[in-house]
Amino acid sequence: MNTIELAFTIPPAEHASFLAALEEPATGFVQTDTELRAYVPADRWAAVDPKRLKAHLADAGHPDELSIQSLESKNWNAVWEGTLSPVRAGPFLICPTSVDPPSAGDDATVLRIDPEMSFGTGHHATTRLALRLLANALAPGDRVLDVGTGTGVLAIAACRIGAEAALGVDTHPDAVRNARENVRRNEGADCVTVQKGSVEVAPGSQYDLVAANITRRVLLELMPALVSRLAPDAALLLSGILQSHRDGILDAVASHGLSLNAEAAEDGWWAGRFSPSPSS
């Protein structure tokens, strides 16, 4: 399936409104100091209104600063290979296999991640935020569930820093295949299992950490199922949320007896880590 790339030549201060407009149809974003790129699968393109986006750009003083092109699936790997570089996220360094990691002296845990049609490269803030919060939540021997695993980066990272087992689930067959390939690329990540599906394919047993880096709408739909997979005193890690939607997510999580114990924000995005409220 083709993917439509929208490239906005605008400064970071202007990103928020376009992120909000494309939050649902887009499967990923890349943000830099001079540009915002959004990627929309062709079967979701009907939900995008290019005329409205261009009008908003003109009102903001950026006329003609939007380019739209179709990327063929067969060319996707080449697109990524030519643009990705190592990215630091907390104690992790996400590095494609086409690039050598920095020389010795960096104590980062290197994660070898090659993306295909899924996202999870570290070049988007939601992945970096999730990795930072994950690193401070895990204890040796923990069991982890990663919902919407994408490239498998969160599940792989969990195992690399001591998780006993991590299950990554995703509804997209291409993401499942890509995640399994990335597991094989990472020494020490053999405790990761990847399955097609969502929370329902996870065994009934509970997990010490449940992570989900997906869209706000899907997070809200899955909230009861995500909470049901939490072991006592476990942590729920949510990412993929615009900062403007923070309060709504806090209210939704609180209705399930959880409270915020850590949060992080970057580039207009927000992530939170939750645990059972003292009274629950």
Residue 105 covered by a domain: no
The pLDDT score that the predictor gives to residue 103 is 66
Residue 159 covered by a domain: yes
Domain hosting 120: range is: 112-276
When pLDDT is cut at 50, 70 and 90, the band that residue 20 belongs to is: confident
The pLDDT score that the predictor gives to residue 118 is 47
Q: Are residues 27 and 127 in the same domain?
A: no
Q: Are residues 120 and 170 in the same domain?
A: yes
d(CA 233, CA 209): 9
Q: Where among 22, 42, 71 does a domain terminate?
A: 71
What residues have CB less than 8 Å from 279, skipping those under 6 apart?
A: none
The terminus-to-terminus CA distance of the chain in angstroms comes to 46
Measuring CA to CA, which residue among 144, 168, 172 is closest to residue 158? Answer: 144
Residue 83 covered by a domain: no
Q: What angle do CA 50, 71, 15 make, to 5 degrees?
A: 45
d(CA 52, CA 72): 25
When pLDDT is cut at 50, 70 and 90, the band that residue 83 belongs to is: low
Q: Where among 54, 71, 88 does a domain terminate?
A: 71
The pLDDT score that the predictor gives to residue 82 is 56
d(CA 60, CA 19): 15
Q: What is the dihedral of CA 272, 36, 32, 273, to 10 degrees?
A: 0
pLDDT in tens, 180-208: 999 999 987 789 999 999 999 997 779 99
User: Average pLDDT in the 61-83 region?
Assistant: 73
Q: Are residues 49 and 129 in the same domain?
A: no
pLDDT in tens, 88-132: 898 999 988 888 877 655 688 999 988 775 455 556 789 999 999
Start-end of H helices in the chain: 15-22, 50-59, 76-81, 125-135, 153-160, 173-185, 216-228, 246-254
How many helices, marked H, and strands, marked E, lie in the chain?
8, 14
User: Does 78 have pLDDT greater than 60?
Assistant: no
pLDDT in tens, 209-238: 999 999 898 999 999 999 999 999 999 999
Q: What is the CATH number of the domain that holds 183?
A: 3.40.50.150
Provide the domain count of the chain: 2
User: Does 280 have pLDDT greater than 60?
Assistant: no
Asked whether the beta carbons of 155 and 144 are under 8 A apart, the reply is yes
User: Does 79 have pLDDT greater than 70?
Assistant: no
pLDDT in tens, 22-66: 988 887 788 888 898 888 888 889 999 999 999 999 998 999 899
When pLDDT is cut at 50, 70 and 90, the band that residue 16 belongs to is: confident
Q: What's the predicted TM-score (pTM) here?
A: 0.85
